[in-house]
Amino acid sequence: MNYFDNANYAVLVVGAGRGIGRAAALELAAQGIAVACFDSDAETAQKAAEEIKAGGGKAVGGRLDVTQQGTIGPAVEKTAAEFGRIDALVNCAGITGRTNIPAHEVDLEDFDFVYHVNLRGALLLSQAVLPHMLKRRYGRILHVSSIAGKEGNAGMTAYSATKAGLIGMVKSMAKDYVEQGITINALAPAVIRTPMVDALPQATVDYMTAKIPMRRCGELQEAAHMIAWIVSPACSFTTGFTFDLSGGRATY
């Protein structure tokens, strides 16, 4: 299903080297638009871009670490220079930090690092792409949050708190640009089968999956299809919203 009626459309995907970000980048390219693939791991980002180009698509790749502000501006400008525009941002950068830890034992250094990736990085990315979108009075920004940001996961204080903060930031930012043709939304996945989930302790995965009425993990392609629609012109009357991707766990 193609949501893009104009091939002259460019999306910057952060976290494109793996997991949901990579699946989203490949799906967007399959729909015939230009994709900028960036990741803190430059090699995986380049591989995603090369795979897109090998299939006849338009892509550029490189390094972008949301914890290092100096890498964000050059990546955004590289995208704009390559494609002449930035229509959308898909931010899939995220880490869980240490898990299975009660709140009174949370290490402040770990909490701060999770915050820098999951929340501060999202603000910096938004600030970098918004000027390009404001010039054209059009844009789509999607930040991938988590079901943990809605409900909280036991033993995941840093992750839950920063993903909840991301949802709040999206709600606020969306109102700032609602009259300029720019939509800003979030996506709240439950457990999606990704390398990050594979790295979690099995007890944590079991705890999260048990809460999903469908009794399964979400698949990467399910996330990719939803992301493509949210950042397309077809999603034109929704902003400040957190889309559910949780197999029925969250219905609000």
User: In the chain, what are the domains?
Assistant: 10-245 (3.40.50.720)
pLDDT > 90? residue 216? no
**What is the Cα Rg of the chain in Å?**
17
pLDDT > 80? residue 49? yes
Q: In this predicted model, what pLDDT tens digit does every residue of 96-112 receive, in sequence order?
A: 999 999 999 999 999 99
Residue 247 Rama label (left phi>0; alpha psi -120 to 50; beta): left
CA distance 9 to 179: 21
- pTM value? 0.95
Cα torsion angle, 56, 62, 67, 72, sign: negative
Q: How confident is the model at residue 201, as a pLDDT?
A: 83
> Residues 3, 9, 138, 159: which is the catalytic one?
159
Mean pLDDT of 162-188: 98
Q: How confident is the model at residue 190, as a pLDDT?
A: 92
Sheet holding 139-144, edge to edge: 59-63, 34-39, 10-14, 88-91, 139-144, 182-189, 242-245
pLDDT > 80? residue 197? no
159 carries an active-site annotation: yes
Q: In this predicted model, what pLDDT tens digit does every residue of 79-99 receive, in sequence order?
A: 999 999 999 999 999 999 999
Mean pLDDT of 133-149: 97
pLDDT > 90? residue 252? no
